Amino acid sequence: MTDVSPPRSFTAPVTAANSSPAPAVAMIQITAAHAGQRIDNYLLTHLKGVPRSLIYRILRQGEVRLNKRRVKPSDRLTAGDWLRIPPVRCAAANDPPTPSARLQALLDAAVLYEDDRLLVLNKPAGLAVHGGSGISAGVIETLRVMRPRIELELVHRLDRDTSGCLLVSKRRSTLRWLHEQLRDGQMTKQYQALLLGRLPQVQTRVTVALRKNQLRSGERVVTVDPLHGKPAETLFGQQQVWVQSTSSGQSPGQVTLAQVTLATGRTHQIRVHAAHLGAPVAGDEKYGDAAGNQQLRALGLTRLFLHAALVRFQPSPEAAAVTVTAPLPEALAAVLARLG
């Protein structure tokens, strides 16, 4: 029988500069309300005011223990588990994030669907889904200020530069149910992407494994790694192709509008798989084509051309499936019109 009692000894505290005094080591027994939740998501909620970079650092260094064992950020909690959290210094309690009235109004107008269990936002490009790395308030922090009596949690994430459908749960039970659909492939997520190049086939499926790396600066970089990466699957469907002459008079380039369907949800998955095909997402400054991006800037593309256009899910086990769509932003539609 596995011993899950709290350990008797603790390691040295982890601290962050310019913050309030650190608390003692915390030993928390997980209840059924948090069963199934990822450890990193639990800590991000439990340690309010602690920078994301610090939370992931104490996880990497083994300072967080689950039933006395080291854990990975993606490990999930089970009712009855003992979670050890080292001393960390939180931001002052009287200094919560203060999202602007303009940002609150923007998110209020961005609600595409809402019921008593969850809501779906049309997230604007350029807005992070959560705070950290110099961002005091992202989507989830702003929503919690707007709706302080509701237990809001992100169901999934979108890159800061990606727009479109973002699910937010209002109940722990709904969060677990939606995560179950994600794990079992029962939730449909479709994107629109403009690719710098042409797909090998009208319908192209990519199944190369991906590995996430974190640089010393904290920046995340994902690489194709068949040996050590995690399974990832993306379906690219060609919608329209344009042949475009370059401004320098070189040979024409091809630009493809694609519908992209995710079978898995790895970090930067669409962007890395597209680059692997030799047709990176337009406007992608991390994995993309600098010359192609510069050419499209002349057509008005000033952001990543990646938009979460559709999500289909069941709000609850007894409910019928719901399909929510987000229209292509005007700025992206204008680029397509100029291509035409």
Please write the tens of the pLDDT for every residue from 112-154.
Answer: 999 999 999 999 999 999 876 555 678 999 999 999 889 999 9
CA dihedral 189, 193, 196, 202 (to 10 degrees): 60
The CA distance from 169 to 128, in Å, is: 17
Q: Which of 159, 161, 284, 289 is catalytic?
A: 159
Query: Which pLDDT does position 243 carry in this prediction?
Result: 86
What pLDDT shows up at residue 53? 80
Q: List the structure tokens of 148.
A: 């302080």
Q: Are strands 82-85 and 65-66 parallel, antiparallel or unpaired?
A: antiparallel
Query: pLDDT averaged over the chain?
Result: 86
| Cβ(47)–Cβ(41) below 8 Å | no
Q: Which of the two residues, 214 and 93, has the higher pLDDT score?
A: 214
pLDDT value for 130: 83
- How many CB atoms lie under 10 A from the CB of residue 147? 13
Angle CA 54–57–59, to nearest 5: 115
pLDDT at residue 93 tops 90: no
Which of 200 and 5 is assigned the larger pLDDT? 200
| Residue 49 tokens, joined | 């005011």
| Confidence (pLDDT) at 12 | 36
Task: List strand residue ranges (DSSP E) for the chain, in order.
Answer: 26-29, 65-66, 69-70, 82-85, 111-114, 118-123, 153-154, 163-169, 188-196, 203-206, 210-214, 220-224, 234-244, 253-262, 306-313, 322-325
Summarize pLDDT for 190-234 with one digit per residue, the tens: 999 999 999 999 999 999 999 988 766 667 899 999 999 999 999
Residue 171 has pLDDT above 60, yes or no: yes
pLDDT band at residue 256 using 50, 70 and 90 as cut-offs: very high
Question: How many residues are recorded in the chain?
Answer: 340
Instruction: Over range 240-246, report the average pLDDT.
Output: 80
Specify the 3-state DSSP secondary structure of 300: coil
Q: Which residue has the higher pLDDT, 243 or 326?
A: 326
Least confident range from 75-89, 245-259, 278-292: namely: 245-259
Contact 88, 168 (CB under 8 A): no
Three-state secondary structure call for residue 147: coil
In this prediction, residue 245 carries a pLDDT of 62
Fill in the amino acid letter for 338.
Answer: R
pLDDT at res. 253:
79
Q: CA-to-CA distance for 220 and 212, rounded, in angstroms?
A: 7
Mark whether 40 is an active-site residue: no
